[in-house]
Structure 1
Amino acid sequence: MSGFVGDLSPQQTAVLEKFRQNVKDVLKPKQGDYYLLRWLRARDFDEKKAEKMLRDALQWRQEMGADTILEDYQPIEVLEKYRTGGILGRDKSGCPIYIDPYGLIDMKGLLRSVKKQDILKKFVQVMESVGKICEEESKKNGCQLDTMTIIYDLKGLGLKHMSKESVDMYLAIVDASESRYPEVLRRAFVINSPKIFPIIWSIVRPFLHENTANKVVVLSGNYKEALLKEISPDQLPACYGGTLTDPDGDPRCKTYICQGGTVPKECYSQAVPHHAMLTGNIGRGSTLQLEYEVHEPNSILRYEFQTDGYDIGFGVFRKNSKERLKASEMDTILSTQRSNCHLVPEDGAVECDSPGIYVVRFDNTYSWARSKKVYYVIEVLETESKSNMEVSNDDDDNDDDDDEFVMAQDTAF
């Protein structure tokens, strides 16, 4: 049985009744069987796990002010202007559609400009808006609607989106979706997926319940035709195959769907906390080399670093053995450049096309007067779950260098 109202086995019906009794002290009058079954399905009808999940979520809602956020939410200008996404249209079942051109987001810039909690509050405000729409549509149509359809447009998504803080922020949103708003997703369509999507999916997948993962559909080729099977043309922006446009004819419907963009640095106000980073001391005229073993081709090495004062050289290289080599003796992945990371933290990512040992190299050989302290976070992301051992080498000798992923149509995970 599906676990939905009207399709319950005798055992599921008994669990529902027990669950209702266990949580009756926190239920509101309008939170009936449809509401309760969402939590039970999310925990495979284990009423104890479902109760804990529900009570934890209610505590979180109180902390986030979710029950009153639609009335008292105070928009933050940079967040409203540079986040991505918006609610527009209904699918053929009557559920609201959320369209997110996530490939256009500058999450790093947002996290430099607002607090993580501000981004989470915006997420709550959006989800509560979806809930209100579902409630209104349910009354209008005379049937229960409590789910949403999402379209993730990943065009433009690349290595710049893979910084640790950006990925961690997105995972926090995914986790909140799963644990605080369970079974709200009807279907998620992923379009314009980039080459690095398998790595992205391997990061996100562990946060999703099997029910949710099965609702994610990656579309390639003629995705517009596939979207129109679920969404009527007059409910879908013209850029995705529908007929909706802004009043000025814009096919992306920017009035309703925020298109993101690069956050101006003058908006920055947040700094990366040093306690979240590892530290390394680089003597004057010296280098610090960190080695990371990559097992899978097309993996990603992402980095973030800053210094207390003064610039530092930074480069990424590859070698095939654990032998200590100079930069000139290794394959150059990212040539060494001096970074003013004492002013603005540096972050980024490089593609690791081939397996091997990738060497992240901080270069202070040009400085004979000052040693440097560097704070850094470096990780290797692979499609397969493998441990990556870091070997840190502090070297005082001087270098003599001058220094498409495509899935089949309608492939569901």
Structure 2
Amino acid sequence: MQKSDDTVERDAASFVSGAYEQENTMSTLLVKHENEFRVMHERFAGREDDDYILYRFLKAFKFDVEVASQKLEQTLLWRTANDYEAIKAAVKGLDPNDLESFPGGKLIAKYFPQCTRYSLDRDSNIVGIICPGLALPNEIVAHLSDNDYHKFETYMMVCLSQYIGRLSHARGVVVRMTRIVDLQGLGMKHLSKSMLDTIVASFSVAQSHFVEHMSHIIVINAPAVFNIAWAVIRPVLSERTQKKVIISGSNYQSTLLKYIAPEELPISYGGNCTRPAVVIHDHEAGFENMTIPAGASIEKTIAVKPGMVVEWSIRSEGKDIGLSVDFTDECSSMSVICPPARIPSNSHTVIGSWTASAQQSGTALFKFDNSYSRFTSKQVKVRIDTACQDNSPEITDKNQSVSLLDK
């Protein structure tokens, strides 16, 4: 894990002076908008004293103090309702790229390629990259509830806002973010109602409570189906934010290079930077392909040592398949780890885990049941991992397990 203070110091040292600096230096802004700042200071003393946040609200609402005050009051209420201070404390010192440190972040990092802080643009604003077209929405929906995903997004927004805030203070300049949205691979599977509702909810929170954080949003590789998503998302965006959105097809290199120098842009996007834009996980690595004949079952056994953790990931490729997992100890006493259940086909990867107690050793039996299908064989991908824990706590209930089969 990389400390954000280290990256703030590095990014602050990389600041490039220019027109953006002249227009966004806080000392200059405090003088230029002295009256507006005076009113905001009086109204929010002790509740929000950060000049950079006050300025973002003033800027977002055209320096109309009454509207800016109303919107900031709403944000303070939102912070209270969403335990903002606790989240702020939890993300303190985290780099925005440390996705796995956020609630649900391990799954998001695995199934939604993104790099929140990749480099700097020509104005020394942060460049972030997200690849919705490479996301696996079925896996995200299967293993994260709407509340879980919303929690992840909230933690991410707070962390990014805090990072940008610290960078702004370090430079003395209002720092924003340029985001590259790569839609390569986007299809109808990404545009279900639930996914669009989640996206709209996320944009709504960002628009209302993290105002003036974006410099540009550059959408590249936009396919025809993007029009469906844009029709839903656009009404949520303020007019000012809509003007920051730049939509390109496959000929996007010149657009990116207009805002981002070659040395700060990945080679895959027409730049010179050798770091990959995002980390793409190999979701097939470690899986064994199995064929379950029609009307038959196949069993797979795993030797279990005391305190061992057994984890499994299973996906049915064509039709559904039955799965059960049992444990038999050395005294031939059997217990159920996972009761019989159907794994739906082409839906998502079923994952589960079970931990043997410090006294348990024996065999875990995975049974793939296709006996109910008289004419159709099934293709199943299976990955079973084991790991021994040191000083494993004793589990008195031998059936204790965690299974995601019902999700």
* Pairwise same-fold verdict (TM > 0.5): yes
The alpha-carbon distance between structure 1 residues 122 and 79, as it changes in their structure 2 partners (threshold 3 A), is same
Assess if the C-alpha contact under 8 Å between 1:16 and 1:36 holds in 2: yes
Q: What RMSD in Å do the two structures reach over aligned CA positions?
A: 3.4
Structure 1 residue 114, shift from structure 2 partner: 1.4
The alpha-carbon distance between structure 1 residues 146 and 65, as it changes in their structure 2 partners (threshold 3 A), is farther
Q: Who wins on radius of gyration, i.e. which is larger?
A: 2
Structure 1 residue 194, shift from structure 2 partner: 0.8
Aligned mates of 1:143, 1:179 — CA distance in 2? 25
More helix per residue: 2
Q: Which amino acid aligns with 2:109?
A: E
Counterparts of 1:322-361 in structure 2 under 5 Å?
none
| Matching residue of 1:62 | 83
The Cα offsets for residues 360-385 of structure 1, whole Å up to 9 and x where unpaired, read as xxxxxxxxxxxxxxxxxxxxxxxxxx
Aligned mates of 2:195, 2:233 — CA distance in 1? 13
The alpha-carbon distance between structure 1 residues 261 and 14, as it changes in their structure 2 partners (threshold 3 A), is farther
Query: Does the residue aligned with 2:148 lie in a helix, a strand or coil?
Result: helix
The alpha-carbon distance between structure 1 residues 3 and 208, as it changes in their structure 2 partners (threshold 3 A), is farther
Aligned mates of 1:19, 1:345 — CA distance in 2? 57
Q: Which amino acid aligns with 1:227?
A: L
- TM normalised by structure 1 equals 0.55
Assess if the C-alpha contact under 8 Å between 1:18 and 1:47 holds in 2: no
Aligned mates of 2:75, 2:248 — CA distance in 1? 33
- TM normalised by structure 2 equals 0.55
Assess if the C-alpha contact under 8 Å between 1:105 and 1:259 holds in 2: no
Query: Does the residue aligned with 1:152 lie in a helix, a strand or coil?
Result: strand
Identify which of 140, 163, 169 aligns with 2:192: 163
Identify which of 129, 141, 159 aligns with 1:111: 141
Counterparts of 1:45-194 in structure 2 under 5 Å?
45=64, 46-62=67-83, 65-71=86-92, 73=102, 76-86=105-115, 87-138=117-168, 142-194=171-223
Aligned mates of 1:49, 1:27 — CA distance in 2? 13
| Matching residue of 2:264 | 235
Aligned mates of 2:85, 2:187 — CA distance in 1? 31
Query: Does the residue aligned with 1:65 lie in a helix, a strand or coil?
Result: helix
Q: Which amino acid aligns with 2:210?
A: Y
How many residue pairs end up in the alignment? 259
| Matching residue of 1:36 | 54
Assess if the C-alpha contact under 8 Å between 2:71 and 2:208 holds in 1: no
Q: For structure 2, list consecutive stretches of 5 or more residues without a partner in the other structure.
A: 1-22, 93-100, 288-311, 315-341, 348-407
Q: Which amino acid aligns with 2:184?
A: K
Structure 1 residue 130, shift from structure 2 partner: 3.0
Structure 1 residue 48, shift from structure 2 partner: 4.4
Assess if the C-alpha contact under 8 Å between 1:82 and 1:261 holds in 2: no
Q: For structure 1, list consecutive stretches of 5 or more residues without a partner in the other structure.
A: 247-251, 269-341, 348-413
Instruction: For CA contacts below 8 A with separation 6 or more, give which structure has more relative contact order.
Output: 1
Structure 1 residue 61, shift from structure 2 partner: 4.9
Structure 1 residue 213, shift from structure 2 partner: 0.9
